[in-house]
Structure 1
Amino acid sequence: MQPPINKLLIDLQEQLNFINIEIDDPIVACEQAIEITLKSLEQLKKFVLKRKFKSTNEEINFFKEIKPQFSSKFIYYNKIYKMETKRPYGGQRVVKKFYRNELRKLKLFFDSELEFYRYFRTGSNYLDHKYFVRGKLDVKLSLNSFYFESDKNFATTHSYKVAKIIAHDLLQVYLEDKLLLLENKQPNQKSQVNPKIKQNWTGSKVALIELLYALHSEGVFNNGASDLKDIAAYFEDTFNINLGQYHRAFLEIRMRKGDRTKFMTSLKESLKKRMDNSDE
């Protein structure tokens, strides 16, 4: 990946991480995420159109691996925005039915694109020269109508399908998390934790989520028998914070292109510095 493109993607991901963690209202978060993602796509388009690909392989790599990382985010947040703006008001039963129906729609998409889904998931490349090279139009390849409405200088017949697959994977996580929260929601239940001095978490949510997963992975609670959701609930009560969709946040952490354990690295450096200062 070209350095300017890599930086553009890292910057986009960091901005989206901030929005996902710090803004609790999904509609407001999606509005901001869509705006930011569209700007990044426009910058990406300008960069690509100003230069020529050095080889067919470079062009294939861009439309198969790079551009979908940007466009999938637009598809993802646009879909959530549409879902949340039409989500019905009512009790848990009504809302759960709504989210389950959205999950069924995802399955229908994967079923309808099963042949290409298998091709992409298995890492196949024997049709890449048709799928991911501009101008290679073949009506026998099950084209999406979006291709005919797009700029042919910045699209191939199947780059949009790759983006949809990535976006729908994220949507599945989002919907499953929503259903999990509804299943475990007990509004009248009070925590037994009652420390004398309440400690409020004043760092970022994404940092606490990184810590949450690190401690759970290490198995430091109840000899590793504690469930992640129980630890998350304990953290929320102890530190007076709502972690929100922490499963989705962890997925975003995993997708970081730079230091994936940014908070862990910062903790390590801070502790070493404190030890060094104490030694002096």
Structure 2
Amino acid sequence: MEIILNKILEQIHHQEVKLSSQMMRMADEAYQMTLFLKKMLYSIKSETLQTGFKDKENEINFFKNIKPQILGKLIYYNKVFRIETTCPVSNGQIHQSYYENQFKSLKSEYKESICNEDFYRYYRACRTDRDDTYFRLGQINYHDGLKSSVFEIDLSFSTYYDNKVAHIIANELLYTYLITKINPEENPDMILINGEGNKDIAWTNSQNALIELIYALYASNSISHRNIGIRKLALIFQVLFKTPLNDIHHSFHRMKTRVGSRTAFLDQLKISLEEYMDKDL
């Protein structure tokens, strides 16, 4: 079985854009995305259990890159639905304090369950030397003192660590989502963009294309002489276009090693602009 990551991401992004264009409530949008992703994950699970993997590289890629993207977004949208449907009021101080408390809980969960683990540092460093252990079925070492959640997963469709990657991805997305919900006037260190005012603006290309553009602007010192970090720059674009991105660092790492042009979107931008210029001649 060989599933292409870009195809999966495009399907998810297409559904996000489709729902966003319908101008529905965030709770309804999150609910519909939860159903969509749950169905997608079930379909891929059925295919995986039926056909298996053609080689270990295919298996590692699936559990390291493909499944976590789907599961991570599923966790994210389900959490957004729960947050939105339990918010006590639609505005005011209680509304703001509610999202601030959610943000504090997210940071606490991140410190306690994610960033202090060796695996988190391994994943963030884009290492591959232990991929055979982390992302292949049947390699779990219980001597590592794993959390009890290992006994609740389906070991025919999980290596345990793919779930950890999914939670890292979900955490990143929730960070962006909650930051846009907190009143920026009361939080000057937060990004000064009102996400609710940009509902008519949407990114209609792929997520990889947007990440490529963000890194190009960052690398060329085109914004604030690169005094703004890549994470904050990415956050601005995510808020502006209402397009939650996955782990941009890993996406960029994959771009550096992809076959063909490493700057496919920028190459196409140049062609499109020149064609547009030629129309006016």
TM-score normalised according to structure 1 size = 0.66
Equivalence for 1:198: none
Residues matched between the structures, number: 242
Tell me whether 1:95 sits opposite 2:67 in the alignment: no
Residue of 123, 131, 134 corresponding to 2:134: 131
Report if aligned partners of 1:173, 1:247 keep a CA contact under 8 Å in 2.
Answer: no
Equivalence for 2:207: none
* Identity within the alignment, %: 30
Equivalence for 2:202: 205
Residue of 240, 248, 251 corresponding to 1:246: 240
1:110 Cα shift?
1.9
In structure 2, C-alpha distance between the alignment counterparts of 1:261 and 1:20, rounded to whole Å: 26
Q: Secondary structure at the match of 1:96?
A: helix
Report if aligned partners of 1:72, 1:166 keep a CA contact under 8 Å in 2.
Answer: yes
Equivalence for 1:104: 104
In structure 2, C-alpha distance between the alignment counterparts of 1:251 and 1:8, rounded to whole Å: 14
Equivalence for 1:167: 170
| Alpha-carbon spacing, 1:38–1:17, altered in 2? closer, same or farther (3 Å) | same
In structure 2, C-alpha distance between the alignment counterparts of 1:34 and 1:83, rounded to whole Å: 14
| Alpha-carbon spacing, 1:51–1:172, altered in 2? closer, same or farther (3 Å) | same
Report if aligned partners of 1:12, 1:40 keep a CA contact under 8 Å in 2.
Answer: no
Could you list the runs of 5+ residues in structure 1 that have no partner in the other structure? Answer: 185-200, 221-243
| Alpha-carbon spacing, 1:138–1:10, altered in 2? closer, same or farther (3 Å) | same
1:160 Cα shift?
0.5
| Alpha-carbon spacing, 1:5–1:42, altered in 2? closer, same or farther (3 Å) | farther
Report if aligned partners of 1:68, 1:163 keep a CA contact under 8 Å in 2.
Answer: yes
In structure 1, C-alpha distance between the alignment counterparts of 2:53 and 2:16, rounded to whole Å: 29
Tell me whether 1:141 sits opposite 2:144 in the alignment: yes
Q: Secondary structure at the match of 2:140?
A: coil
In structure 2, C-alpha distance between the alignment counterparts of 1:266 and 1:121, rounded to whole Å: 30
Equivalence for 1:67: 67
Equivalence for 1:236: none
Larger Rg: 1
Listed one character per residue, the Cα deviations across residues 194-245 of structure 1 (whole Å, up to 9, x for unaligned) are xxxxxxx9976335xx8xx9xx99999xxxxxxxxxxxxxxxxxxxxxxx95
Task: Answer with 173-182 or 77-86: which moved more.
Answer: 173-182
In structure 2, C-alpha distance between the alignment counterparts of 1:134 and 1:54, rounded to whole Å: 14
In structure 2, C-alpha distance between the alignment counterparts of 1:202 and 1:88, rounded to whole Å: 23
| Alpha-carbon spacing, 1:183–1:20, altered in 2? closer, same or farther (3 Å) | farther
Equivalence for 2:49: 49
In structure 1, C-alpha distance between the alignment counterparts of 2:104 and 2:280, rounded to whole Å: 58
Which letter does structure 2 place at the counterpart of 1:206?
W
| Alpha-carbon spacing, 1:251–1:9, altered in 2? closer, same or farther (3 Å) | closer
Equivalence for 2:181: 178
Which letter does structure 1 place at the counterpart of 2:240?
Y
Could you list the runs of 5+ residues in structure 2 that have no partner in the other structure? Answer: 188-197, 205-209, 223-237, 256-262
Report if aligned partners of 2:201, 2:241 keep a CA contact under 8 Å in 1.
Answer: no
TM-score normalised according to structure 2 size = 0.66
Which letter does structure 2 place at the counterpart of 1:139?
Y
Query: How well do the aligned residues superpose, as a CA RMSD in angstroms?
Result: 4.4
